[in-house]
Amino acid sequence: MERGLALLGLGLALLLLAPSRRLASAAPVEDGLLINGDFETAPPGGFVKSASVSEGAAIPSWTINGTVELISAGQHQGGMILIVPQGDHAVRLGNDAGIGQVVQVEKGSEYAITFSAARTCAQLESLNISAGSVSQTVDLQTLYSIEGWDAYALAFQAVDEQASIEFRNPGMEDDPTCGPILDNVAIKKLFSPDKAKENMVINGDFEEGPWMFPNTSFGVLLPTNLDEQTSALPGWMIESNRAVRFVDSDQYTVPQGKRAIELLSGKEGIISQMVETTPQKAYTLTFTLGSAGDSCQPPMAVMAFAGDQAQNFHYAPMGNATSQAVNVNFTARAERTRVALYSVYYNTRSDDHSSLCGPVIDDVRVWGLNGAAGLKASIGLLIAMASVIVLVLF
Ligand SMILES: [Ca+2]
């Protein structure tokens, strides 16, 4: 009898333990759209077609705080049609209102959040994003594309097994319906690529970065990020107050691989990296300078900094090429050397003068000139091949 009770107790204990164990071992979030990250899942009562602000309306999979409204494509407000970046629905955040979702993550790992945002009618519109280790406010004043919305990305480090991702409108407008619009929220776990043996630049080919939806045509903007440890573009910092654009080969002309960076904002969009160097040693910085194939109006040029050298390069490819290789020689003065690039001009597209564009950069490398091991290796290979030929012939 006692044994029976003990077994019953054990069974109950196991039953009670089971759900919490399952919760603790929940799989981390997968790369891509968050659950209902596009706000296309209908709320319990269905989508309501009206411009009225619905206080506390339920939005599946999201928790909301303050006045958050589900808006529909084609919805009017005053004399303006509200912009829905993707599909038929998005949300608009009222004064001091927020929306959030908790995701399972791997503690210590870095993640990038990609989202689309549009402004409505406020004078100074911005969106605050907090997740894990970061809280950052993205300024929505500068419109980079004529569509009226842009995709942005920023990174955070997971400080726990769960991360609460929250978007908040920090504004306090007289008209509470003048808040930013949010859509298409996605996540991607970031990997920092290993440093290649003969290239001191990490992620110099820009192949690692935030999530990009395959069918969005405007790339992803990377706003200011002065923390090289937690960057949506691993290894790189985005200096100054404007964004650069992460582009992919589905929509743009990319010099190498699948991804590259388009420098959009003149001197206000600088990307930089501190690379390891040996003092007094000679190095060369090389990169590919190209056109994104987005009808960007010339002239296009890039200013490149490497240590104490600064040089600008005009985009002038040979023949039908869409990119050219350029290099800057420098002597390192310290154990870390800053490499930085920005666009010399403020360019816009020839087909619409409102969308910002600029030169594309890719395949950034820094290597030591003294120990040109790569060159030695290829010479060695050539000698070896010549010897084989000589042996075969004679
Ligand atoms: Ca690339």
pLDDT digits (tens, 9 = 90+) for 360-377: 999 999 999 975 444 444
**Preceding amide of 255 cis, omega within 30:** no
- Could you tell me the distance, in angstroms and rounded to a whole number, from the CA of residue 350 to the centre of ligand 1? 25
Residues 6 or more apart whose Cβ sits within 8 Å of residue 224: 238, 239, 240, 241, 242, 243
DSSP E strand boundaries for 45-97: 63-65, 68-72, 76-77, 80-81, 89-93
- Could you tell me the distance, in angstroms and rounded to a whole number, from the CA of residue 291 to the centre of ligand 1? 13
* pLDDT score recorded for residue 115: 96
- Could you tell me the distance, in angstroms and rounded to a whole number, from the CA of residue 123 to the centre of ligand 1? 37
Cβ atoms of 47 and 36 within 8 Å: the answer is no
Residue 380 has pLDDT above 50, yes or no: no
- Could you tell me the distance, in angstroms and rounded to a whole number, from the CA of residue 323 to the centre of ligand 1? 12
Residue 49 has pLDDT above 70, yes or no: no
- Could you tell me the distance, in angstroms and rounded to a whole number, from the CA of residue 92 to the centre of ligand 1? 35
If one compares 221 and 375, the residue with the highest pLDDT of the two is: 221
Give whole-number Cα distances, 81 to 118, 119, 151, in Å: 12, 12, 19
- Could you tell me the distance, in angstroms and rounded to a whole number, from the CA of residue 288 to the centre of ligand 1? 9
- Could you tell me the distance, in angstroms and rounded to a whole number, from the CA of residue 100 to the centre of ligand 1? 33
- Could you tell me the distance, in angstroms and rounded to a whole number, from the CA of residue 249 to the centre of ligand 1? 9
- Could you tell me the distance, in angstroms and rounded to a whole number, from the CA of residue 202 to the centre of ligand 1? 12
- Could you tell me the distance, in angstroms and rounded to a whole number, from the CA of residue 327 to the centre of ligand 1? 17
Residue 352 has pLDDT above 70, yes or no: yes
Give whole-number Cα distances, 382 to 209, 372, 379, 388, 394, in Å: 37, 16, 5, 10, 18
pLDDT band at 51; cut points 50, 70, 90? very low
* pLDDT score recorded for residue 8: 52
Residues 6 or more apart whose Cβ sits within 8 Å of residue 24: 161
- Domains in the chain, ordered, with CATH? 28-190 (2.60.120.260), 198-394 (2.60.120.260)
- Could you tell me the distance, in angstroms and rounded to a whole number, from the CA of residue 261 to the centre of ligand 1? 8
- Could you tell me the distance, in angstroms and rounded to a whole number, from the CA of residue 228 to the centre of ligand 1? 19
pTM: 0.85
pLDDT band at 383; cut points 50, 70, 90? low
Residue 393 has pLDDT above 70, yes or no: no
The proportion of the chain whose per-residue pLDDT surpasses 90, expressed as a percent, equals 62
Task: Retrieve residue 173's tokens.
Answer: 């407008």
Residue 300 has pLDDT above 60, yes or no: yes
- Could you tell me the distance, in angstroms and rounded to a whole number, from the CA of residue 233 to the centre of ligand 1? 12
If one compares 24 and 253, the residue with the highest pLDDT of the two is: 253
* pLDDT score recorded for residue 222: 95
The proportion of the chain whose per-residue pLDDT surpasses 70, expressed as a percent, equals 85
Query: What does pLDDT average to over the chain?
Result: 86
Average pLDDT over residues 165-189: 92
